[in-house]
Chains A and B, each alone.
Chain A
């Protein structure tokens, strides 16, 4: 599906620019975006190194295991295939915690780490496992308690009550998470019926 979406974005963009006689914007957008992709990756190196370093300390001191034991009932329900003491669990928990606190920059390194660990458990390495799909569902819908960036923008643009959107955001993200987890369970069992594997 992602192949089709990627192709459709490119083809429709080039077609529209061509019809409107502005084909040169395609060249510029393509070059600029390619450069932007590399810039993002370079910028992320420092943050990645920092959080993966901190996470290693947390792991070796047993803090992550401690945290994992507390939320065990939830994670066992969500990730039945992943052993509860597997390192993937720690990274998943750290990623979700960072998302809940609105620390987007800290969430990505943990998310990438979680994917690497989940890949170790994956039987067919070029296809996403069920646990990976669940993780992505939670990650993209994640309950957010402090949408920090948007509060900052509201403060900057002179809002009388910058945090009034915190309640609505918690409601909307909680609804999103419940629906995503339900949809994941349904899609997972449908997939299992169709292909006979988890």
Chain B
């Protein structure tokens, strides 16, 4: 029941917006097509402006990951993870999540496949993937696109948000599905 509602909402969300916004605009006297094109024009410029920031961040993360440095880092903080009640297997996901959305999704998919979606690890990986965000990616791309070089306390803040999402995932999954 819930599944069908959720999947229907996801299926309809974008078509719904594409229908309602132009139709409502038309009846409010907006020249809908001209207005759309005017807005769309900004898309190209913005996408091009974020390229240097994407390249910079992805290269550093790519090198860190491919060299095996990330694997060492994971081993190093594994004891902390055990302490909070999370199996070591999900640690690479926790580390990758703020860095790269695609990388994290890859790890989550692999964990769900290897341990089964309805296992403790599968549920935890699913919740973690949905509860935290690619903070570094968002930071560099969003700030980069408008030329901000000093981040104030945004890095600290983003990491606090991510760590909270992570801990809350571990807590709730242990509470609901823990042995």
A binding-site residues for B, Cβ under 8 Å: 1-2, 5-6, 9-10, 12-17, 20, 22, 25-26, 28-30, 32-34, 36-38, 40-42, 44-63, 101-104, 106, 108-109, 111-113, 115-116, 118-119, 125-130, 132-133, 136-137, 139-142, 144, 146-151, 153-154, 157-169, 171-173, 175-177, 179-180, 183-184, 187-188, 191
Smallest CB separation, B107 vs chain A (Å): 12
B58:A36 contact, CB within 8 angstroms:
yes
Whether a CB of chain A sits under 8 angstroms from the CB of B43 is: yes
Smallest CB separation, A142 vs chain B (Å): 7
A133:B157 contact, CB within 8 angstroms:
yes
A132:B105 contact, CB within 8 angstroms:
no
Interface extent on B, as a size class?
A: 35 or more
A33:B123 contact, CB within 8 angstroms:
no
Q: What chain B residues lie within 8 Å of A140 (beta carbons)?
A: 132-135, 138, 158, 161-162
A14 CA to B66 CA, complexed, in Å: 10
B2:A163 contact, CB within 8 angstroms:
yes
A128-B154, A163-B2, A169-B131 known; A176 vs B161 contact (CB < 8 Å)? yes
A49:B152 contact, CB within 8 angstroms:
no
B10:A102 contact, CB within 8 angstroms:
yes
A133 CA to B159 CA, complexed, in Å: 12
A187:B156 contact, CB within 8 angstroms:
yes
A30:B112 contact, CB within 8 angstroms:
no
A55:B39 contact, CB within 8 angstroms:
yes
Smallest CB separation, A128 vs chain B (Å): 4
Q: What chain B residues lie within 8 Å of A188 (beta carbons)?
A: 153
Chain B residue nearest to A49 (CB atoms) is B43
A153-B112, A154-B112, A169-B127 known; A57 vs B154 contact (CB < 8 Å)? no
Q: What chain A residues lie within 8 Å of B116 (beta carbons)?
A: 157
A132:B66 contact, CB within 8 angstroms:
no
A111-B142, A180-B157 known; A127 vs B43 contact (CB < 8 Å)? no
B108:A153 contact, CB within 8 angstroms:
yes
A154:B126 contact, CB within 8 angstroms:
yes
Smallest CB separation, A175 vs chain B (Å): 4
What are 10 A-to-B residue pairs whose CB atoms are below 8 Å?
Answer: A17-B68, A37-B58, A38-B51, A42-B47, A45-B43, A54-B22, A115-B142, A137-B161, A144-B130, A169-B126
B46:A109 contact, CB within 8 angstroms:
yes
A60 CA to B69 CA, complexed, in Å: 50
A112:B67 contact, CB within 8 angstroms:
no
Contact of B64 among A9, A38, A126, A184 (CB under 8 A): A9
Smallest CB separation, A17 vs chain B (Å): 4
A5:B136 contact, CB within 8 angstroms:
yes
B155:A13 contact, CB within 8 angstroms:
no
A15-B69, A17-B67, A54-B36 known; A115 vs B157 contact (CB < 8 Å)? no
A187:B126 contact, CB within 8 angstroms:
no
